Amino acid sequence: MPRYVLLRLGQAAVVLWAAYTVSFLVLVLLPGDAVAALTGAAGAASSVSPERLAELRREYGVDEPPLVQYAAQLGDAVTGDLGASFATGRPVTALLAEALPPTLTLTLSALTLALVLGAGIALAATYGSRPWLRQLLLSLPPLVASVPAFWVGLMLIQLLSFRFRLFPAFGDDGVRGLVLPALTLAVPTAAIIAQVLARSLMTALAEPYVRTARAKGAGPVRVHVRHALRNASLPALTVAGLLVGGLLANSVLVETVFSRNGLGRVVVSAVTTQDIPVVQGVVVLSAAVFVAVNLLVDLLSPLLDPRIALGGPR
């Protein structure tokens, strides 16, 4: 167990390093000058003198060669210092700490809804005895999974906000304001989870231990929930862990559509002003959340399937 956890933590560190390195390379290779764009010196009629521009570049540390910048910034990032925002001068960690809670709340709410909806569709599709209903339920996940999240959001706003006025279309109005954004993220994710779980359930229901349980008098509900669902849920749980990164990325887009506070506004502002430290901070934070969730999934897997050993073969 300790060896397994240490190995996974080492892999997580490699993933975080790779995310930071790739984001640094991409931002360095982008055309333009972040300091010049920030000060308005990129225009032809700029009032910023070349001396002042050079001083700002030294202050922000972008006058050094890229390799020197990378080494210095990576060393600071290891200690938890992601630098300061070019636009506001505030520490990036402080900006992310303020913006993360609303985004995390939205992401976790969407993930919970996706798991409930996906499991419900998969159980209904594999439990019913009518072939036409089963085929209908099994055909829904591939169809819904192909729909873009922003289109789902626009349809939900049109239907549940503008027409029936059940939920607010924009803003952070408590739980009511969270419903539409969470549904927007949850619907495509639930479709993928339902598709994977339904296939796993159909495979599990054909296993010999299920036939044995039925022969002993177990009812359909008991067979589905206690015997088949536990073994079939492991692939769906693994997929859900992989989808967390997509949920977090889409939450940035959804927050922009629904005018919510969170990482979405921070990212839009940082990209617009070429605020490199903030963009890198968001990338590292997203990678850290993705790694943490998948580590949790790996630790929960042996609880669902005892045949999986944390420490590997002895």
Of 85, 109, 113, 114, which Cα lies nearest the Cα of 97? 85
Q: Are 58 and 104 part of one and the same domain?
A: no
- Residue 195, classified by CB atoms within 10 Å of its CB into exposed (0-12), middle (13-18) or buried (19+), is buried
Give the structural domain span for 30. Answer: 2-78
Taken in order 29, 32, 37, 39, is the CA torsion positive or negative? positive
Q: Note the pLDDT of residue 307.
A: 64
Taking only the tens of pLDDT, the chain with its 314 residues reads 577 778 888 888 898 999 999 989 988 887 767 777 676 655 544 566 778 778 878 887 788 888 999 999 999 999 989 988 888 889 999 999 999 999 999 999 999 999 999 999 999 888 866 788 878 888 888 888 888 877 888 899 899 989 888 899 887 778 888 999 999 999 999 999 999 999 999 999 888 988 888 888 888 888 888 888 888 888 888 898 888 888 888 888 888 888 888 998 898 888 887 788 898 999 899 888 888 888 888 877 777 766 665 554 44
Q: Are 68 and 153 part of one and the same domain?
A: no
Q: Are 54 and 119 part of one and the same domain?
A: no
Q: Note the pLDDT of residue 62.
A: 80
Task: Give the global pTM.
Answer: 0.81
Q: Is residue 39 part of a domain?
A: yes
Give the span between the Cα atoms of 171 and 169, in whole angstroms.
Answer: 7
Q: Note the pLDDT of residue 137.
A: 83
Q: Are 165 and 249 part of one and the same domain?
A: yes
- Residue 175, classified by CB atoms within 10 Å of its CB into exposed (0-12), middle (13-18) or buried (19+), is exposed
Give the span between the Cα atoms of 113 and 184, in whole angstroms.
Answer: 10
Spell 116-145 as b/e; 16+ CB within 10 A means b.
Answer: ebbbebbbebbbeeeeeebeebbebbeebb
Q: Are 56 and 171 part of one and the same domain?
A: no
Q: Note the pLDDT of residue 292.
A: 87
Q: Is residue 89 part of a domain?
A: no
